[in-house]
């Protein structure tokens, strides 16, 4: 039996990012992709959907509620577990019977929509209450909701997101010292606990790390994996393979859920490589899975003109690989360009730059317009940088000019100016540049 077929193991996507939530149509497409990838779970948790976070006490109106019920029905039709998450921590009144009653009221409506699994999230919220332990308040609220849900639906499953949800946060005492240990003691053992790994965006997830966390939580964690999340940097997206996770990891956790790119059309490779990993972790090879997923994604890049070149598509994908690494083709191009800057002329390098620049330009011809709109600003920036480099390599001068790269309009604006005030240091800290 493959892991996604196990009734207990959750494998899929958690729509848990900041930014515009996916549309109803995009979620339906996500269900089809999840099913095709052999995954089994979708978690509804978009941070900037008012129903999820800011207005967690308010019930759905008839129109929005009908749309949600239809979405739940479609998830079930695709064989997916639909998990609905609420995030009450921004303004939860500790121990307030009125808030607990409103939480149950939301639960009643959601159960009526056909939802059978839930989550309560206490991430990214104020870390202190005026009185009492923050961990105890979170646990007692979650326990109350879980016990009430079990009375309504004995098969319900509930997940909990702690305020310190990665190793670095726990080490810094986010929430309060001993928060995770308190969760281990006080949270009912049937409730799952989300965890992102040693970091918010974890380059690696090892069994040793997971076992250490499980010892504190007194249960295996449920992984909320931010490897592909891009809401923290709108200039990037990630279409590389699911990687950096031990082949033994699935046996040490309650599930693997990707928090994906904010822009729905850019998640094809992420979901399909996760599916390949979960189906057979021991045989999984990231680069092979990446190329296979790219090949399956390739039809979405049909144009109104001549076909794009496959090798240029692979290079383009390698330019937007993963948070901590470029794909090998992009990494090799970077090194060739860097070497050429001091050894002009460079016809071979310029030819490769030109092909990639032209690929970016021709994305305007994509028939799949939502895909183009998701790519356009990133591809435009890449195209501009390639054009500037090509101008420099083509010139014998030490300095080159460009009508499209002028002070104030190129790399300009208030935020870039702020970013130049502190420079990142090798140890991860920041300091004024020398």
Q: What are phi and psi of 420, to 5 degrees?
A: -80, -10
Among residues 99, 124, 326, 358, the one annotated as catalytic is 124
Cα 374 to Cα 378: distance, rounded to the nearest angstrom: 8
CA 310 to chain centre: 27
pLDDT at 130 (0 to 100): 66
Query: Which residues, listed in sequence order, are joined to residue 204 by a DSSP beta bridge?
Result: none
Q: Indicate the burial class of 213 (C-beta count within 10 angstroms; 0-12, 13-18, 19 or more).
A: buried
Domains of the chain, earliest start first:
3-284 (3.20.20.80), 302-434 (1.20.58)
Q: How does pLDDT run across 106-151, given as a tens digit for each residue?
A: 999 999 999 999 999 999 987 776 667 899 999 999 999 999 999 9
pLDDT value at 1 more than 70: no
Quick one: pLDDT band at residue 409, thresholds 50, 70, 90?
A: confident
How would DSSP label each residue in 19-82? Answer: SSPPPHHHHHHHHHHHHHTT--EEEE--TT-TTTTTTTTSPP-HHHHHHHHHHHHHHHHTT-EE
| Strand residue runs (E) in 250-408 | 255-258
Joined tokens for residue 277: 């990993």
Quick one: pLDDT band at residue 406, thresholds 50, 70, 90?
A: confident
Q: How does pLDDT run across 165-197, given as a tens digit for each residue?
A: 999 999 999 999 999 999 999 999 999 999 999
For residue 187, give the 3-state DSSP assignment. coil
Q: How does pLDDT run across 351-398, given as a tens digit for each residue?
A: 999 999 999 999 999 999 999 999 999 999 999 999 999 999 998 888
Joined tokens for residue 222: 């449920």
Residue 368 appears among annotated catalytic residues: no
């Amino acid at each position: 039996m493959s892991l996604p077929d196990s009734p207990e193991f959750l494998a899929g996507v958690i729509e848990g990012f900041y930014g515009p939530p996916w549309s109803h149509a995009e979620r339906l497409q996500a269900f089809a992709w999840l099913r095709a990838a052999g995954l089994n779970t979708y978690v509804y948790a978009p941070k900037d959907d008012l129903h999820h976070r800011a207005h967690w006490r308010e019930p759905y109106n008839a129109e929005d509620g009908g749309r949600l019920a239809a979405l739940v029905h479609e998830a079930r039709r695709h064989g997916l577990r639909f998990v609905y998450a609420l995030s009450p921590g921004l303004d939860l009144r500790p121990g307030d019977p009125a808030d607990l009653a409103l939480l149950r009221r939301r639960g009643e409506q959601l159960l009526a929509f056909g939802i059978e699994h839930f989550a309560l999230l206490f991430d990214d919220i104020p870390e202190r209450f005026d009185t009492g332990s923050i961990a105890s308040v979170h646990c007692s609220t979650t326990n109350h909701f879980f016990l009430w849900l079990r009375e309504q639906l004995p098969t319900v499953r509930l997940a909990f997101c702690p305020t310190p949800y990665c190793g670095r946060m726990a080490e810094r005492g986010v929430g309060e010292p001993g928060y995770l240990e308190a969760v281990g003691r006080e949270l009912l053992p049937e409730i799952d606990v989300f965890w992102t790994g040693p970091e918010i965006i974890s380059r690696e997830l090892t069994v040793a790390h997971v076992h250490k966390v499980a010892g504190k939580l007194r249960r295996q964690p449920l992984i909320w994996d931010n490897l592909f999340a891009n809401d923290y940097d709108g200039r990037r997206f990630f279409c590389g393979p699911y990687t950096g996770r031990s082949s033994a990891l699935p046996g040490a956790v309650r599930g693997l859920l990707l928090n994906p790119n904010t822009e729905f059309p850019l998640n094809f490779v992420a979901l399909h490589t996760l599916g390949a990993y979960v189906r057979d972790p021991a045989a999984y090879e990231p680069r092979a899975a990446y190329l296979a997923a790219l090949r399956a994604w390739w039809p979405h890049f049909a144009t109104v003109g001549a076909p794009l070149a496959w090798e240029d598509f692979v290079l383009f994908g390698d330019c937007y690989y993963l948070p901590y690494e470029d794909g090998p083709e992009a990494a090799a191009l970077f090194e060739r360009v860097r070497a050429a800057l001091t050894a002009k002329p460079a016809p071979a390098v310029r030819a490769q730059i030109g092909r990639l620049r032209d690929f970016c330009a021709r994305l305007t011809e994509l028939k799949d317009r939502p895909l183009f709109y998701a790519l356009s600003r990133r591809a435009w920036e890449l195209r501009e940088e390639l054009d500037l480099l090509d101008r420099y390599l083509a010139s014998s001068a030490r300095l080159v000019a460009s009508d499209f790269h002028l002070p104030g309009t190129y790399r300009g604006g208030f935020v870039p100016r702020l970013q130049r005030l502190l420079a990142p240091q090798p140890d991860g800290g920041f300091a004024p540049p020398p």
